[in-house]
């Protein structure tokens, strides 16, 4: 569906900055309001090739990679692809499909996948034996590398009025979070921080567009929620009064607005953290959280090799592990091989019993489950 929306021009994606490897931050925006919601352009040292690409695309329209390479006069596909992604992660360029993003993550350096690089062809000495020939050199393809497929174009021009942009940012925060707190604003790196959004939200409250109150305990009165979100909280509170509510288990990206930990709520304390000092939860790209009945149960670090547990209760651990396994089988995560949990080897640990019950199989490296 996202491919269809980008291909028809209803949705625009943009980069927010690169991460180690080939990962990066990206966001999706409605084309009609992209000028208001697109992030500011990132800082980038523009080389001559960077500037030439921007000049070629400045009149408008989209260019396929080979058209762009011809217009720029580049004969090095890999170097031009690197320039394109520099500009994309800095927010200058976008594409009419997300296929290049998929190809980039499937190239072996994405968040949850790892693959050995294909060895280069070796040049063999022919000597006097005519049967021996040198390795075939890499030739440019007609369409270019798969990581730069589709048509590239400049992102829409940003709205210069900061008031209108702050207004749009406050509206999007309310739509995504329901209840906006200081931590939620900071976690999304909103320009101007909470101080800029607070002024707009206060004006919304005065006009009746949102409500202010103590919705999340311990976070002060600077909380703003939509009418629907506040009514839902009250309904849930009244339904669960006098009994323990069960909401099941959810697998979310650590950066998902639906994950309150590290934003509206602090990360829960863990037992025996001193033995696992090098591992801490955070709203990091590629990491996952598993929330059971509203409480954090598991944290899956980027790459999936390490798990952090936040409960020793098997009644909560097993549903969390089952939800993680279901997400893998549904194809949302691909292959996952768990090697360590809470700083210790996963094989033979207490958590391994729950993982094996969910379908993980023992391998020399750890416990593995494929989609």
- The per-residue pLDDT for range 250-292, each reduced to its tens digit, is 999 998 888 889 887 889 987 655 445 567 899 888 899 999 9
Residue 276's pLDDT is: 52
pLDDT for 249:
87
Residue 274: per-residue pLDDT: 44
**What share of the chain has pLDDT > 70, as a percent?**
85
pLDDT, residue 115, reads 40
**246-371 CATH:** 3.40.630
In this model, does residue 123 exceed pLDDT 50?
no
Q: What is the pLDDT of residue 204?
A: 94
The confidence score (pLDDT) of residue 241 equals 53
Across 195-214, average pLDDT: 91
Q: What is the mean pLDDT of the chain?
A: 83
Q: Which of 27-36, 112-121, 288-297, 314-323 has the lowest mean pLDDT?
A: 112-121
Look up the CATH number of domain 161-245: 1.10.10
Confidence at residue 65, expressed as pLDDT on a 0 to 100 scale: 94
What integer pLDDT is reported at residue 122 of this predicted model? 41
**Does the fold of domain 246-371 match that of domain 161-245?**
no
pLDDT score for 141:
62
Q: How confident is the model at residue 119 (pLDDT cuts 50, 70, 90)?
A: very low
Whether 353 has a pLDDT exceeding 80, the answer reads yes
* Stretch 162-188: mean pLDDT: 89
Q: What is this structure's pTM?
A: 0.70
pLDDT at 202: 94
Residue 182: CB atoms within 10 A of its CB come to 18
Domain spans in the chain, listed from the N-terminal domain onward = 2-112+144-154, 161-245, 246-371
| More confident site: 362 or 142 | 362
Which whole number is the average pLDDT over 309-322? 88
pLDDT band at 26 (very low <50, low <70, confident <90, very high): confident
């Amino acid at each position: 569906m996202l491919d269809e929306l980008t291909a028809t021009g209803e949705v625009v994606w943009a980069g927010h900055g690169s991460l180690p490897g080939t990962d990066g931050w990206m966001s999706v925006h409605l084309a009609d309001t992209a000028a208001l919601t697109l992030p500011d352009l990132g800082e980038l040292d523009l080389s001559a090739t960077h500037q030439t690409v921007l000049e070629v695309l400045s009149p408008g329209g989209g260019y396929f990679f080979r058209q762009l390479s011809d217009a720029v006069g580049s004969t090095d596909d890999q170097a031009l692809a690197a320039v394109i992604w520099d500009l994309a992660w800095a927010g200058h360029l976008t594409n009419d499909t997300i296929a290049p993003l998929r190809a980039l993550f499937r190239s072996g350096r994405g968040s949850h996948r790892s693959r050995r690089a294909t060895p280069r062809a070796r040049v063999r000495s022919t000597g006097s034996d005519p049967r021996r020939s040198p390795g075939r050199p890499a030739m440019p393809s007609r369409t270019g590398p798969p990581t730069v497929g589709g048509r590239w174009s400049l992102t829409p021009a940003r709205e210069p009025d900061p008031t209108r942009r702050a207004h749009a940012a406050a509206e999007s925060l309310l739509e995504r979070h329901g209840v906006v707190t200081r931590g939620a604003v900071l976690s999304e790196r909103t320009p101007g921080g909470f101080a800029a959004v607070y002024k707009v939200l206060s004006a919304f409250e005065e006009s009746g567009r949102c409500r202010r109150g103590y919705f999340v305990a311990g976070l002060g009165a600077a909380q703003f929620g939509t009418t629907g979100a506040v009514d839902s909280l009250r309904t849930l509170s009244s339904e669960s009064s006098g009994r323990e509510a069960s909401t099941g288990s959810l697998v979310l990206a650590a950066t998902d607005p639906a994950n309150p930990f590290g934003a509206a709520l602090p990360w829960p304390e863990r037992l025996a953290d001193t033995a696992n000092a090098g591992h801490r939860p955070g709203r990091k790209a590629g990491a996952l959280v598993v929330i059971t009945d509203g409480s954090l149960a598991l944290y899956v670090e980027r790459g999936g090799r390490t798990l952090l547990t936040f409960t020793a209760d098997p009644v909560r651990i097993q549903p969390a592990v089952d939800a993680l396994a279901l997400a893998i089988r549904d194809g949302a995560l691909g292959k996952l091989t768990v090697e360590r949990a809470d700083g210790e080897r996963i094989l033979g640990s207490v958590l391994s019993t729950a993982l094996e019950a969910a379908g993980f199989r023992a391998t020399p490296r750890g416990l593995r489950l494929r989609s």
